[in-house]
Amino acid sequence: MEPLPLTEPVLLVLLSLAEQPRHGYSILKDVERMSGGRVKLSTGTLYGALRRLLDDAWIERIEEDESPRDRRPYRLTSRGRRNLQLEVERMRHLTKLAALRIARKEA
Amino acid sequence: MLRFYRWLLYLYPSLYRREYADEMIPVFRDAQADVSDGSFKERISFRVRETWGLLAGAVHEHIRIISGSYQLISFTRFNMRPEFRFPRSTVFLMSIIFAGVILAMEKANTIQVKYGAGSGSIWPSLPWFLGLTLLFTCATVMVVWGILFGLGRTGAHRLANIQPGPNRTN
C-alpha cells in the first residue's frame, strides 16, 4: 500500500517512534525537539493521531506489567515502519527532483 | 486549567475517554509544568493550543463514531487510505461557498437595479449582515454539536454493529 503524503506532525510522531518506543509525553517532547520547537502538538492532536495510527495498525501499544496505565509506551509496527520508509523515499525523490530543477534554473 | 481540561475531556465520546483520558491527563500535566515558568505569551499560547486541540479532536471523534467510519468524512489529508485522495467534505464545502458567491452576486445585481448606480451604498448594512451570519453559523454549529453529542450519549450508533444471536428453538 502506497501511503498518502503525511502531515508534518504525523510524520514526526512516526519518526519519534521509529527510534524507540515512547509514551505520550516523550513523543510530545521529541516532536518539539526534532522540529526545532516549530511543531508543538497539543495532547488532543497527539492522541487523535495515535488513535488513528493504532486503528490503521501503524503503531501498537506495548502492554507491560510494570508500566503504569497513564504511561503506556507505543512502538511502530512492521507495517508502520514500511509505510514510513515509503514516505521518506517519496520525500527523498521529491527533494532530489527539486534540487535538480533549481540547479537547472540557476545555470 | 487542569479542571477545565478534565471538563473538556467530557466532550469526547465515552469510549474514547475510557481508552485515552487516563493517559492524556498526566501528559497534559507534564506539558503544563513545562510552560509554567515560561512567558505570559507562552502560557496563553499553550492554553489556546490545548483547548483548540481538544475541541477539534472531540468533534472529529464524534463525527467518526456517528458516521461509522472515518472514510466518509475526512477533514484533513491525514486520512491514510489511498482510495480517498480528495475529501468529500471539501467538495461539499466548495459547493456551499460557490452557491454563496452566486447568491451574493445575484443580490448585489438586484440592489443595483432597484436603486440605480450611485444612489446609495450597501456597505453600512454589511457589518450587520456579517454579524448575523456569524451568529447563525455559531447557532447551527451548536445545534449540530448538540445532536451529535446526544446521539453519541444514547449509543444509537452502536445499533448497527449488533450481531444477531443464534436462533433458539424450544
What's the rounded mean pLDDT across residues B142-159?
72
Residue type present at position B90: T
Q: Is A81 exposed, middle or buried (0-12, 13-18, 19+ CB in 10 A)?
A: middle
Length of chain B, in residues? 170
Minimum CA–CA partner of B12 in chain A? A44
Question: Which candidate from B49, B58, B80 shows the least CB-CB separation from A56?
Answer: B80
- Please name the helix (run of DSSP H) or strand (run of DSSP E) that holds residue A35, with its range, or none: none
Cβ–Cβ < 8 Å for A12, A35: yes
State mean pLDDT over B116-130.
65
Interchain proximity B82–A4, CB inside 8 Å: yes
- The mean pLDDT value for B101-113 works out to 81
pLDDT of residue B83: 43
Please give the pLDDT value at position A27: 94
Q: What average pLDDT does range B12-26 have in this prediction?
A: 89
Coil vs helix vs strand at B38: coil
**A1 to chain B nearest CA, in Å?**
8
Mean pLDDT taken over chain B: 76
The answer to whether the Cβ–Cβ distance between B27 and A45 falls below 8 Å is: no
Query: Residue B133 — pLDDT band, cuts 50, 70, 90?
Result: confident
Which of B43, B69, B78 best probes binding to A when mutated, by most A CB atoms within 10 angstroms?
B78
Q: CA-to-CA distance for A73 and A66, rounded, in angstroms?
A: 11
Give contacts of B55 with chain A, Cβ < 8 Å: 44
CA angle A63, A31, A100 (to 5 degrees): 125
- Pairwise CB contact (< 8 Å): A40 & B70: no
- Share above pLDDT 90 across residues of chain B, in percent, rounded to a whole number: 9
Distance of CA B6 to the CA centre of its chain: 19
The C-alpha cell at A62 is: 506495548
Q: How far apart are CA B23 and CA A26, in angstroms?
A: 12
Name chain B contacts of A52, Cβ cutoff 8 Å: 70, 78, 80
- Testing the interface with B: which of A22, A47, A54 to mutate, by most B Cβ within 10 A? A47
Residue B142 is placed in which grid cell?
Answer: 451548536
CB pairs under 8 A between A and B: 86
- Three-class HEC string of B112-132: HHHHCCCCCCCHHHHHHHHHH
So what's the pLDDT on residue B77?
46
Question: What pLDDT score does A70 carry?
Answer: 67
* Alpha-helical runs (H) found in A1-107: 8-19, 24-34, 43-55, 78-106
Most confident of A22-26, B65-69, B127-131: A22-26
A12/B contact by beta carbon, under 8 A: no
The answer on pLDDT for B136 being more than 50 is yes
- The ipTM of this complex is 0.82
| Helix or strand run (H / E) with residue B153 | helix B126-154
Q: What is this structure's pTM?
A: 0.61
Residue ranges, chain A, pLDDT below 70: 1-4, 65-70, 107
A47 interfaces chain B, CB cutoff of 8 Å: yes
Decide if pLDDT at B71 tops 60: no
Q: How far is B155 from chain A (nearest CA, A)?
A: 20
Task: Please give the pLDDT value at position B15.
Answer: 87
Q: What is the pLDDT of residues A3-23, one digit of tens each?
A: 567 888 899 999 999 999 999
